[in-house]
Amino acid sequence: MNVITNPVLRGFNPDPSIVRVEDDYYIATSTFEWFPGVQIYHSRDLMNWRLLKRPLDRISQLNMAGNGDSDGVWAPCLTYDNGLFYLIYTDVKSHKGAFKDTHNYLVTASSIEGPWSDPVYLNSSGFDPSLFHDEDGRKWLLNMRWDFRKGKNKFGGIVIQEYSEAERRLIGPVTAIFEGTEIGFTEGPHLYKRSGYYYLLTAEGGTRYKHAVTMARSATLLGPYEVDSHNPMLSSGGHPELLLQKAGHGSLIETPSGEWYMAHLCARPVDGFHCILGRETALQKCYWDEEDWLRLEGGGNVPSARVKAPALPPYLFAAEPEKDEFDGRQLGDQWNTLRIPPGPDWLSLSERPGFLRLKGMESLSSCHRQSLVARRQQAFSVEAETVVEFAPDSFQQMAGLILYYNTEDYVYLRITHLEQHGRVIGIIRSDRGVYDELLEADLPLPDAGAVYLRAVVSRDTLQFYYAVEAGSWSPAGGEIHIAHLSDEAKEPLRFTGTFIGVCVQDLGGTRRHADFDYFIYREME
């Protein structure tokens, strides 16, 4: 028996939206402030997945300069109808305090690999938009509506409005169709039609340890919707023994042979609470019972780490190489930048062929223009290594190897210049917004030449190393506790995961550059 091993998308890959087109399966996940926007994964067997496309790859589609931490792309919805792919997404400009500025857009493509269109603006009334294609050819946008008023339920229910393809805009009245269940925090709507019913799948309970998937149905599109008496349909709440926590935010597909699967959000804590890898994606096998309600295969409502796969031959993809030599004309798909796209004004793979050249820009506190390139951490135990040539002449110039969660939480093995000591290496950390320098004194380096940098992560601990000769590693300080690189470390809610990469800062504005010859990412489990 073929088995799906969960999570199928490891590391920061939340809010999955799954679609099948003939024999191909695609999952789109949220990217928040990381660029390019939205990750689309591909599979033909539901067991093996590869990153295929990041469709929001230009400023005309996604301009996030100035977006705050955990703003940006929330909960995309990927659908297909009549030869066209539809991708709905939210660009959140702010979610602090009582208000949320949530702008919803639509892009389309005739091929999953693009080109993807410029966006059509839809609305801003709430987040988690999705598009439903009804059998009569009409299309409907659903989203949760945010109610900021004092004394109101902020998660103000699910609303629906028709979308006109001819006019490229929403038309007709906005109708509230579902207030949610007693679980609360109703969001993430997806609508399906089956056996004469419209089925409304929603996420409830908040995207932490009480997260859940709930189901309601109606004989008519606009309701009223009857709630499944067995809700929640899926949840990890109250089961700390499970590998997969935070189960919720589901999306459904049916295989050609009539089997049903749900893609859903999950997370794996490293210490029973902190989820350094962020929220991930898993799959569960489902069926429809004799009363036409959706149930988990095997009974109950908790997620399984191992799930029966459909009867399809395994479809394998080539493994990602551990070492990136930076020999290509553009960055590999594993790499991401913060808020802004890679541009020749700050990033080059051609100015010095075989090297990634980064020109220093703003500080690690900036929500505008950071010179940072990073990839997801996707396993509990990993090693990362790079080598950099960097000649700073000021303490305001820094370059090195970083573990980054957001502007308030990171750990950075950085090279800089001090007035009385010349070129040095040390560790700076921001822990829930509090800046610190972890070594009593920065360590001296030769005035010129390459410096090798290494990070070894084991669950919630980090050890940095450095060398001025290849292979002659010395520890840089001691072990560092990194549980603060997680959603759970601080309120208000935040939603991303740990990234590992390289960066350069030049706070004097002179654009001092650093050259990185390679980057190794190796999973140890």
Q: Report the 10 Å Cβ neighbour count for 184.
A: 14
| Tokens standing for residue 200 | 């409304």
φ, ψ of residue 487 in degrees (nearest 5): -60, -35
Q: How far is the CA of 400 from the CAs of 43, 109, 251, 334, 425, in angstroms?
A: 36, 39, 40, 19, 9
Active-site option among 15, 57, 385, 487: 15
162-to-181, 226, 262, 387, 457 alpha-carbon distances in Å: 25, 22, 26, 54, 49
Residue in the block written with tokens 């990185």: 516
User: Measured between alpha carbons, how far is residue 295 from residues 221, 231, 266, 303, 308 in Å?
Assistant: 22, 10, 18, 12, 15
Q: Is 450 helix (H, G, I), strand (E, B) or coil?
A: coil
What stretches of 253-354 show up as alpha helix (H) in DSSP?
A: none
β-partners of residue 34 are: 338
Question: On the CB side of 330, how many CA atoms lie within 13 Å of its CA?
Answer: 8
Are the beta carbons of 229 and 217 closer than 8 angstroms?
A: no
Residue 337 CA neighbour count, 13 Å, CB half: 26
* Contact in structure between 416 and 439 (CB atoms under 8 Å): no
Catalytic residue check, 15: yes
Looking at 187, 259, 442, 488, which residue is catalytic?
187
Q: For 488, which DSSP code?
A: G
The length of the chain in residues reads: 525
Instruction: Judge whether 324 counts as a catalytic residue.
Output: no
State the catalytic residues.
15, 187
